[in-house]
Structure 1
Amino acid sequence: MRELGPALAGLYDEVPSVVLGPVSRGSLLGALTAAALGVGFVEMRKAGGTSIDSDRWVRHTSAPDYQDRHVVFGFRRHLIQPSDHVLVVDDWIDTGATAQAAKALVDECGAHWIGAACIVDGLMEPRLRYELPMRALLDVRQL
């Protein structure tokens, strides 16, 4: 576990000021990556977590995920500033829907998007490797 954060952080030359991690495994991996880099961490939650919160949130509904669900993701708006450079970290990428939702949220905040780092690349749509961009420690064909 202690090597995952540095390994994911090492996938990009650009150092983020904030690591964004989608619930649930992305939160753990994102926190490990942020700690390895000595930068901030923001958890990208599913919208159900905002019901009793009075802070302003940014939200985005994802394209269909691997279970064909449209998920509403978000975080408190003040956690990512226009001056931030943001890297999203997750365990596995297949449809790219979560990473695309993360990018839309970062764009809405006016921050700089670095890309998506994950453990396993199982992308079904190869163009997303370049559009996001996305980098991974393993390709699904290696498993």
Structure 2
Amino acid sequence: MLRELGPALAGLYAEVPHAEVPTVVIGPVSRGSLVGALTAAALGVGFVEMRKNSAPAMDSDRWVRRTTGPDYRDRHVEFGFRRGLVRPGDRVLMVDDWADTGMTARAARELVADCGARWVGAACIVDGLTDPRLRHDLPLRALLDVRQL
């Protein structure tokens, strides 16, 4: 079952025009890193982990960072990755296990824009978005709707 997850998530964006096919997958720690890496492998592209609340590093100027709005636990979380892992011209798909408020995907989209890359969208296992407009705004596609669980 686990080996089928990456191809299933990649398949959510199988019908996009060639100019929108992802060249990089990003995924937030921790479960997003697992399903993101599986999706990147299925697509044959690179993977970048979005780290959460990492301590400042000596080379902090080489990091791109964004803070989310309130998440499902009313927290504001800082995500980031090393600048240069996502480059101008890349087409980026974010993958995660669950979408609830959409705040992680919004922060990811901002990180992608900060790098000069193009946002393709978000893919997740479970769509539990509380605001249905986000499905179209992000766009977000999922394998399951929370109401199916």
Confirm or deny that 1:42 pairs with 2:43.
Answer: no
Pick from 78, 84, 100 the counterpart of residue 106 of structure 2. Answer: 100
Once the two structures are aligned, what percentage of the paired residues are identical?
A: 73
SS at match of 2:3: coil
Deviations 1:44-103 (A, max 9, x none): 00132x533526000000000011000010000110001100000000001001000000
Structure-1-length-normalised TM-score: 0.96
Structure-2-length-normalised TM-score: 0.92
In structure 2, how many angstroms separate the alpha carbons of the residues matched to 1:136 and 1:88? 12
Pick from 54, 68, 78 the counterpart of residue 59 of structure 2. Answer: 54
In structure 2, how many angstroms separate the alpha carbons of the residues matched to 1:32 and 1:71? 24
SS at match of 2:48: strand
Task: Give unpaired runs (5+ residues) of structure 2.
Answer: none
Task: Give unpaired runs (5+ residues) of structure 1.
Answer: none
Give the aligned CA root-mean-square deviation in angstroms.
1.0
Confirm or deny that 1:111 pairs with 2:112.
Answer: no
In structure 1, how many angstroms separate the alpha carbons of the residues matched to 2:92 and 2:130? 24
**Alpha carbons of 1:42 and 1:53: their partners in 2 closer, same or farther (altered >3 Å)?**
farther
Q: How many pairs align? A: 142
